Structure formats: C-alpha cells, structure tokens
Amino acid sequence: LSLRRQRQMCIRDRNDIENLRASIINISADGQVDIGEQEEFKQILESLDLISNNAKALELWAKKNIKNI
C-alpha cells in the first residue's frame, strides 16, 4: 500500500477506535457481556485486530521506506 493510503487508513482507524472505545464502555458497564451483546463484542474484537494489523503494516512500511528513522 502507498503511504497516502496507509495514512488514510490510520486516520479512519483513529476515528473507529473512538467509536469502539465507546461501545466497549457501554457493553462492559455492568461488568459482563450479555448474550444480546456478544455479536457486537465479537465484531469489536475483530475490528481491533484489523486496526492492530494496519498499524503494524504502517510501522513496517515506514521502517523500510524512510531512511532517517
């Protein structure tokens, strides 16, 4: 992926993180994940995994392509 595309993904991911954070707080407010919340919680975990992978890809790209790090 190009640096520009990686940057766009990072910005989108940052906004997604705020939404995910709010959802996690709402789901876990009572200290448990109820049956009706399990699917949303699973989707949140999948989204966090994707965000983590995108961040790692951006870091690796930067280390490979930017000489002054």
CB within 8 Å of 53: residues ≥ 6 apart:
none
Question: What is the DSSP track for 4-60?
Answer: HHHHHHHHHHHHHHHHHHHHHHHHGGGSS--GGGHHHHHHHHHHHHHHHHHHHHHHH
Give this prediction's pTM: 0.67
- Give mean pLDDT, residues 62-67: 85
What pLDDT digit, counting tens, does each position of 18-48 carry? 888 899 999 989 999 999 999 999 988 888 8
